[in-house]
Chain A
Amino acid sequence: MARRPRREPGALEREILAAIAAAGRPLTPAETLAELGVPLAYTTVMTTLARLHDKGALTRAPAGRSFAYAPAADPDTLDAALIARQMIRVLGAGAQRAETLARFVADLSPEDEQLLVGLLAAHQPAADVDSADGGPRR
């Protein structure tokens, strides 16, 4: 498979952070690789995890012969969800708010919803059909 058509520097770092957060528990390099679901070299994942640890984005604890990595939750960022919600309220308060937030998908109209449900059903890959209810993976 001709993979990795274009890759931003730092994209893998963000994908790894997202994968660990999605798993909801500390992951070893091997587990992270499995969670990413792309054909990457084990060493690439290991080096990136170590770099994220150096940058303070991840904490790690010994697990067997390797480390298990978890999101770094330092006290200052614990209430990130709260900060984010506050900001959304502030930005939503303006009558004609500028499009300051660029949402991946904005609020849906009822017809949008039906369209998306239809699209999801039409584009379900064969391997994923048994979890086609759109719920959490696996």
Chain B
Amino acid sequence: MTAVALVPFATSLLLAVGGGWLGRRLPPAAATRLLTTACLVTALATGFILAVVAFTLLAPLPPLAAVGHWSTTVVRGHDPLPAPAGLLPAAIVIGLLAAATRRAVGVGKDLAAAELTCRRLGPAPTGLVIVDDDRPDAYTLPGLTGRIVVSTAMLRALPADERRVLLAHEHSHLRHRHHAYTQLADLAAAANPLLRAPAATVRLAVERWADEDAAATTDNRAVAVRALARAGLARAGTAAMPTAALGAVHTDLAHRARALREPPPKPQPALVLVLAALILATAAAAVGTSRTTEHRFERAQATFAHRS
């Protein structure tokens, strides 16, 4: 194995440490797209390289060499590790693959439940379903067509301008298929647990994306802040008194509120380039490892054929 094979692991660590920061600095749409891509490419590359390492280490074992018709000494190369060490990466790959599969099945079930609910809710010509419910709630339901579901209690809790913000926010989720990004990032995080933090950042980024789309429908961003605050408190059903300092809270919601109190985000071409370069380097490392390994096995097979 060469140092190139370590690149995807370095990327995982970089994303684990810096993904949150990048996702908060980039404009939300760019953050969503780039971080989701980075998570997917990194998860695939780390899984692939672990599998290649496992197979290369295990290949000199006589049963495998006999089946594959390769020379054990050539395929072993200069690897310092004994062949049974390959069992560790093999076990990790199988475990991660199982986790990813379980996650994919879970996502599929959730999507099926959402689609079924869309159908049972009946045709909604505008995409909006208003449910007569005294619990304030508002969410977007993905599906082939998708629905925006808002309860009457939530509509009553908001003034007209804030209702418009809420509807625009949920419509943005539907129109840009935000659930696909969050679910793909979650899947990548299941296949590579180092990617959990960037996957969480993707969830925050889609909310910010919808917040920005919603804020664009009003000429006053304060309306969007109010809508967020009033809808959140209506859903929590509380009437707490203001005591905490605004800057001291570090939750995702606090980030959204602070971002809406600031002017719209500016493009960050330098950060976009850095992240794009990281994605390309990771993909290239996987391709490169695949090439070197293929070459090694070809030589081993040629030696084997020459000898017999």
* Interface residues, chain A, with chain B CB atoms under 8 Å away: 1-3, 5-8, 10-11, 13-15, 17-19, 21-22, 24, 35-38, 52, 55-57, 71, 74, 76-77, 80-81, 83-87, 90-91, 94, 96-109, 111-125, 128, 133-134, 136-137
Contacts and interface: CB of A to CB of B under 8 A. Distances in A.
B103 A83 contact: no
A22 B163 contact: yes
A96 B107 CA distance: 10
B132 A81 contact: yes
Given A13-B126, A96-B106, A99-B179, 13 more contacts: A5-B216, A21-B155, A22-B155, A22-B163, A37-B159, A98-B106, A104-B231, A108-B253, A117-B242, A119-B225, A123-B229, A133-B239, A136-B156
Contacts of B159: 37, 128, 137
A14 B230 contact: no
B247 to A, nearest CB: 10
A122 B230 contact: no
Given A116-B257, A117-B242, A11 B151 contact: no
B160 A36 contact: yes
A125 B226 CA distance: 10
Interface residues of B, number: 91
B14 interface: no
Task: Describe B's contact surface by its main secondary structure.
Answer: helix
Interface of B: 103, 106-107, 109-111, 113-114, 116-117, 120-133, 137-142, 148-152, 155-161, 163-164, 166-171, 173, 175, 178-179, 182-183, 186, 203, 206-207, 210, 216-219, 222, 225-226, 228-236, 238-244, 246, 248-249, 251, 253-254, 257
A64 to B, nearest CB: 23
Contacts of A100: 107, 110-111, 113-114, 141-142, 179, 183
Contacts of B242: 114, 117-118, 121
Contacts of B229: 116-117, 119-120, 123
Nearest to B215: A5
B244 A11 contact: no
B246 A102 contact: no
Nearest to B241: A117
B111 A18 contact: no
Given A83-B120, A108-B253, A114-B242, A120 B226 contact: yes
26 contacts: A11-B164, A11-B168, A14-B127, A15-B167, A37-B159, A38-B160, A81-B132, A83-B120, A84-B133, A86-B117, A87-B114, A96-B103, A99-B179, A99-B203, A101-B114, A101-B139, A104-B138, A104-B169, A105-B232, A105-B235, A108-B236, A115-B257, A117-B233, A117-B242, A133-B239, A137-B159
Contacts of B235: 105, 108
Nearest to A82: B131
Contacts of B107: 98, 100
B126 A14 contact: yes
A120 B110 contact: no
Given A5-B217, A98-B183, A123-B222, A10 B236 contact: no
